[in-house]
Amino acid sequence: MPQKFQNLINGKWVDAKSGKTFENRNPANWNEVVGTFPKSGKEDVDEAVKAARAAFEKWRLVPSPKRGDIMRKIGDLLVARKEEIAREMTREMGKVLDETRGDVQEGIDTAYYAATEGRRLFGHTVPSELPNKFAMAIRVPIGVAGIITPWNFPMAIPTWKMFPAILSGNTCVFKPASDTPRTATMLVEIMMEAGLPAGVVNIVHGGGGEVGNAIVGHQDVDLISFTGSTGIGKNISKIASDTLKRVSLELGGKNAQIVMDDADLDLALDGVLWGAFGTTGQRCTATSRLILHEKVYDKFMSMLVDRTNKLKLGDGLLADSQVGPCVNESQRKTVQEYVQIGQQEGAKLVAGGKIATDGALSNGWFHQPTIFSEVTPEMRIAKEEIFGPVLSVIRTTDVTESIKILNNTIYGLSSSIYTRDINKAFQAIRDIQSGITYINAPTIGAEAHLPFGGVKQTGNGHREGGWTVYDFYTEWKAVYVDYSGSLQRAQIDNY
Ligand code: UN1
């Protein structure tokens, strides 16, 4: 019998009110059921929001250094259980163990950052226009945060959102992706064990249509943080506009790596292989386009195809696997569709292109790492997010043209340029339209203490990570203290 999991509402583990459940299966072996989880609905969301609202009234009064102490404890517990969580994560979403360990480590780093932020949460003091008057701006918590997260970073992304939310004094209703409910459950278990009071974090499992939309539309939820597709992000924005909620959206990408003719080609090769096929291409930051200088095109392509064909597909729990499966059937289908589209558009398929069915792979959602060359910037495979192991290679000449090609997309999350010319590097830093630019490093690998997010339709202007995320989870309050003992009219009424 598969293990049965529950929602966490007001500190108690409970079934969905309807009693319905859904199964979570291993994408490397779909015969293996990881567990069954509550298929919740609006009525479960209502309970969770009620609990979060009641908890907020007490939690907001806990000094933030004390909240930080709990964050430190959460970090310590994540360290202690890192290996166990990584294994469960691989079992439910497929990426290889080294990467699921990295995902947990990102959660640990975020916890320790939040712990220290408890002793900062700086405001500002400024001089007043008037004598005997003190002026400052302080941060205050906002209320109940709805947290809706994807399956590709089932630990890191929930921690990016919930740790700063809770450290700032808010409470959370958390809906994890239905492909990764197991990792999410381990995370909230740890958060409770570290000493969070009942109701500060609540988890409601289920689908986006039922649970996600109920959270976004709820009158008593004050803010929403969502990571996922641009299509769903737009829908969330519409629903949330009815209650004028604060919404942070981290959405699609079509990230590119530029390789100039002066680049260290071996370095650029390692970079593009990791960026394009790490996490089976299923990162928001994944390298989906390679913009390759014509002078090194043929040489680099033969190096790239050779190494790509040697990548070992397999169950992420096995030590020699380098690329895991796609997360589910529909994701693999999308990849297959784009392989067809690329061929119809006239791009040249030079590696992969097929689902992988050899031996043990036949029971999982595996797809070969795939490369198209001779892609032109107007093709759909050069413009649309695929979210799988597919790389489109575009021929380029100089740095200005390369940046123009890179910017030719509705997205703008991550970007990279390999060059040994400092002038070209700085031109790229200035002119690339994206939230993240790497010089001589791949498009993946953002660090937890820097701003994370994108421009254009990758998001709506907010940033996660580092100090910047605290702007999203707090409201600024301006405070004036007049100690003159008489009515002082403000400068505008008195000048
Ligand atoms: C994501 O794919 O949504 O920069 C997050 C990276 C990771 C985070 C990726 N630190 O690749």
Q: What is the topology classification, in CATH, of domain 255-439? A: Aldehyde Dehydrogenase; Chain A, domain 2 (3.40.309)
Task: State how far the Cα of 153 lies from the Cα of 356, in Å rounded to an integer.
Answer: 24
Ligand 1 near 11 CB (within 6 A): no
Residue nearest to atom 6 of ligand 1 (CA): 445
- The amino acid present at 246, given as its one-letter code, is R
Average pLDDT over residues 174-198: 98
Give the Å distance between the CA of 466 and the centre of ligand 1. 14
285 C-beta closer than 6 A to ligand 1: yes
**d(C-alpha 180, C-alpha 329), whole Å:** 15
Structure confidence at residue 494 as a pLDDT band (50, 70, 90): confident
Average pLDDT over residues 155-161: 98
* Euclidean distance between CA atoms 132 and 123, whole angstroms: 21
Mean pLDDT score, 434-461:
97
For domain 7-251+459-478, is the CATH number 3.40.462.20? no
> What is the domain partition of the chain in residue ranges?
7-251+459-478, 255-439
Q: Note whether 105 and 444 are within 8 A (CB).
A: no
Residue 285 CA to ligand 1 center (angstroms) comes to 6
CB-ligand 1 contact for 283 (6 Å cutoff): yes
pLDDT of 1 reads 83
Ligand 1 atom closest to Cα of 436?
4
Helix (H, G, I), strand (E, B) or coil at 356: coil
Q: Is 59 in the pocket of ligand 1 (CB under 6 A)?
A: no
Cα distances (angstroms) measured from residue 333 to each of 73, 354, 388: 42, 11, 10
pLDDT in tens, 221-272: 999 999 999 999 999 999 999 999 999 999 999 999 999 999 999 999 999 9
CB 289 within 8 A of CB 257: yes
Kindly list the catalytic residues: 250, 284
Give the DSSP H/E element, type plus range, for residue 358.
none
d(CA 282, CA 296): 28
pLDDT digits (tens, 9 = 90+) for 34-91: 999 999 999 999 999 999 999 999 999 999 999 999 999 999 999 999 999 999 999 9
Check the CA dihedral 133-139-144-145 and report its sign.
Answer: positive
